[in-house]
Amino acid sequence: MILVSWNVNGLRAVVQKGFWDWLAGSGADVVGIQESKIQTGHEADFGHTDQYKTVWCSSTVKKGYSGVGCFYRAEPLSIAMELPDPAFAGEGRLLHLEYEEFHFFNIYFPNGGRGPERLAYKLGYYDAFLAHAEELRKHKPIVVCGDFNTAHTALDLKNAKANEKTSGFLPEERAWLDRFVAAGYVDTFRLFTTEGGHYSWWDYRFKARDRNVGWRIDYFFVSEELRPKVKRAWIDAAVMGSDHCPVGLELDCR
């Protein structure tokens, strides 16, 4: 089973840059996108694909904001939107597709860079997600992908020292990822690639992508039970169209 995640930073924009051709050639069984920025009620405009069914979770609190979507060929047992805690619902940040072998989460985690209140919201969202995942994990494993909006270690961004006081690399954000890993969740990319220099997001300014001055903030994590089934994990940095690039995971689900 091939799973792909991509923060498209506006589906309308990336459709003008070859998104449908990319999707058709991706070979993925499930594609999770983040920052769709689609308004509720407009999702049907983006369901035109013969290969995939679609499901959307769009923001209900602000137009053209946030939003996640899934394109899937493998039919899920069930689909849910948002976290159960209503304090963290409404921004269109989470889709949960339940499969026989695992729970699949596609999440656009909050950005903590807009002041203390949003940082607190981000950290609270992290905690609420982990509590939810741990409850579901009692019955079957977890796969979670998306834009976590945090680089975990100094290997995961170009200029670690200069960003120690920047949201996305703050000690408290990184500490949550430490706790997540300690709880038994595996950063699949690091099973195959241990060196730095591999990023999934580049600032549009300063020709950052041309110079590979980036951050790795898009991930596929699996709960420890799935580690033996991980066959590949990758970053597809050659795919253009967004300030993020796709990341992927292949699982042996036999």
- On whether the pTM is more than 0.75, the answer is yes
pLDDT mean over 94-122:
96
pLDDT value of residue 92: 97
Check residue 41 and give its pLDDT: 81
- pLDDT at 82 > cutoff 80: yes
Which residues are part of a known binding site?
7, 35, 147, 149, 243-244
Q: Which residue has the higher pLDDT, 61 or 43?
A: 61
Residues 100-112 pLDDT 10s: 999 999 999 999 9
Active-site residue, from 108, 185, 199, 219: 108
Q: What is the pLDDT of residue 214?
A: 98
Q: Which domains does the chain have, with CATH numbers?
A: 2-251 (3.60.10.10)
242 pLDDT exceeds 80? Answer: yes
pLDDT band at 115 (very low <50, low <70, confident <90, very high): confident
- Determine what percent of the chain is predicted with pLDDT higher than 70: 100
> Is 132 among the residues known to form the active site?
no
Mean pLDDT of 190-213: 96
Residue 45's pLDDT band (boundaries 50, 70, 90)? Answer: confident
The one catalytic residue among 29, 103, 147, 218: 147
Say whether 29 is catalytic: no
Confidence of residue 43 (pLDDT cuts 50, 70, 90): confident
Binding residues for Mg(2+): 7, 35, 147, 149, 243-244
Q: 209-230 pLDDT, tens per residue?
A: 999 999 999 999 999 999 999 9
**Catalytic residue among 103, 132, 152, 244, which?**
244
**Is there a catalytic annotation at residue 108?**
yes
At 46, the pLDDT band (50, 70, 90 cuts) reads confident
Mean pLDDT of 200-209: 95
pLDDT classification of 42: cutoffs 50, 70, 90:
confident
Write the secondary structure of the chain as one string of H (helix), E (strand) and C (coil): CEEEEEECCCHHHHHCCCHHHHHHHCCCCEEEEECCCCCCCCHHHHCCCCCCEEEEECCCCCCCCCCEEEEECCCCCEEEECCCCHHHCCCCCEEEEECCCCEEEEEECCCCCCCHHHHHHHHHHHHHHHHHHHHHHCCCCEEEEEECCCCCCHHHECCCHHHCCCCCCCHHHHHHHHHHHHCCEEEHHHHCCCCCCCCCEECCHHHCCCCCCEECCEEEEEEHHHHHHEEEEEECCCCCCCCECCEEEEECCC
Predicted confidence (pLDDT) at residue 40 exceeds the cutoff of 90 = no
